[in-house]
Structures are given as structure tokens and as C-alpha cells.
Structure 1
Amino acid sequence: MLDARLKRSIRWLGDRTDPDLRADTTGWWRDAETLALLGPALAALFPEASPTVVVGPESHGSLLGPLVASHVGTGFVAIEKDPGRSADSDAWLEVMTPPDYRDRQLRLGMRKTLLQAGDRVLFVDDWVATGAQVEACRALVGRSGAQWVGAAVVVDGCERPQVRRAVDLRALVHVRDL
């Protein structure tokens, strides 16, 4: 049921002169039933994981992550792009991503105090293309001393099988099925 809703409410943007089409997933957020199903469905990808915290990158991971966290009864930590400190005493963990689908490198970060040794961390996002952000988020989790349990995403479009295996990527749908 969720697969059909996801497929029906995605749009591909671009025209004949564009080298690539871009996915517009905003229809997923507009449909209340789809939105209600996403948190439980993403959590179900890791039934054995028992995460103590869910993380997700800005912006769609920050939307989906709280849905999953609420469903499994944990807290949520947003991974910020180009984070800014409030003060010198505001300690952050930061990493640079490998090139992403737009060939950009992003600086990702989170406050040091939000993850601790002993935490079991589930990553959540809408889409993985190159795997750059999920790979960088895994590095952040490692630096915190917490344990990475896996990556739950709506769409697996990961271009690098080694990244898929390294982060234990599980998805609701594969890009080829959209």
C-alpha cells in the first residue's frame, strides 16, 4: 500500500534539454496517510536494531527522522549542513562529505553532547543517491563513540554498492521501481 502511494505521489522534474531528471517528493509530505505510514515503515526496516536515537540530515532526514523516533520511542538528532556555532564553548563534531549527486562537498555537523558512547544510532533520510551524506553521517556517529545500527531510507538510488553494504542501507523502494 505504501509503495503505491510513494510511486503515485512522486513527480519527475526536467525537460528534454536537461541531462537528468530531478525527483520532487513533496507529494509525500502533502498526503496525510503517506506521512502517517512512513515512520512505522522506515522503523520496520530494522526490527532488530533497538535504536536509542535516530539521526537524519537536513532537510528531509529532519522531517522523517522524528516520525521514526516517535514510532520507536526514542529521541532525534538533526545532522546540520554547514553548522554554525553559537559560541566558542558550543562544541560540535563535523565532517566533510565526499562529492554528492551535484558534485558538491558539504560540511555536516552535530553538537557533541547529543550522541554518547552506548547510543545505538539509526540513520533516516528520504533518498540516497551517491551515499555521500550517509557515509559522512556514519563517520560523525563513529566520532561520537556511539554505535551505528544502519540506514533506513525511502528510496535507494545508491550508486556505490560498497557504501550500501558499509552503512547497511535498507529502503522502502528502489529508484528503478519509481
Structure 2
Amino acid sequence: MVGVVALRLGGCRGGLSTLGFGCRLASSSFVATSVGGGTSCACGRLFEVGASNAEIARAVGVCAESVRRWRRVWEEGGVSALRRRAATGRPPKLDDAQVETVRAALMRGAQAHGFEADLWTLERVGAVVERATGVALSRASVWRLLTGWLGWSLQRPERRAVERDESEIARWIAHEWPRIKKGP
């Protein structure tokens, strides 16, 4: 992935000149490219050519404090210190194969898993996840699984009486309601 950042340097004049590091100066514009490094890595290249923090912040579209923090890191470790690192934290409880197993189980419907109505709740999904994978998830983790990994959204069923008669309701509104509204 190549990120491109453009920055206008106030004091630069002249034609095209190559600055190295995948950077070039063309008609008062500085273009820095970084391979896999992201915005902070591109800023490292801007630091190397002497751009000010304010110019970099405006060009990249970040706050000045971020640029100051990146400059401190760059001064201590160079451009390599600004490279992206792998995400830290606890690894997910379910791997990709288990998520696909859960997806297939949920697509069969709630009744296929012994539930009375074909309606999914967090508790029901949690029970199916535990049966399918052997992993117990909290309600919050089930919600993240459904919305984040599987792309599902909250759907609430309409609450209407089974005995509801639309034609009788329309007749009542057309004939009875005007009579009641007029009064005696």
C-alpha cells in the first residue's frame, strides 16, 4: 500500500527535483510516498527535508500535537520507528474458521437449533456459538461478533395482534369515527 501526502513548502521555488526516499519537489509542492508506513511514516520523510510541524499538520490533516509526537519518535529512532506495528491486545476468542462455522449455524435459523420462534437474541446466539465452537462468549462479545464480524444489525419485530383485521379497522375509521367525532 502506498500513501501519498502532498505539502506546500513556502520557501521552495523552481522545477522538479528529486529528494530521494520516494520524494520529489515539483512546482512548490512536496510529495512524500511511504510504502506500508501510513501517515506518520510519510511525515518522517517530511521531517528529513526540513518541513515545519505546522506545515506537515496542515498538509496531512492531523493536529499539531500528533506531528510533535511523531517528530519526537522520529528523532529518537528515525523513519523505521514510525512504521506501523501489529495490533496489540488480547487475541480474539474465535478464529476465522470458527466465525464461518457460527455464520453457517446462524443462517439455518433459530428453530433449527431448537428454539420456539425463529428469532435471534444475544442469549440464543451465545448458546449456538458455544455449541458450535465450544467457546463461551459474553453478551457484549456476542454483540461484537454479530455486528462487527458478521455484519448483522438490530432488527425488532413489529408488535401486532395476530387477530388484527385491517379491513375492519378501515371500515371503523371511515364510518364510526366520523360519527363519534360529530358527537350526539
TM bracket (short chain): under 0.3
Max Rg structure: 2
Which one has a larger percent helix, Structure 1 or Structure 2?
A: 2
TM-score (norm 2): 0.20
TM-score (norm 1): 0.20
Which one has a larger percent strand, Structure 1 or Structure 2?
A: 1
Q: Which has the higher relative contact order, 1 or 2, with Cα contacts under 8 A spaced 6 or more apart?
A: 1
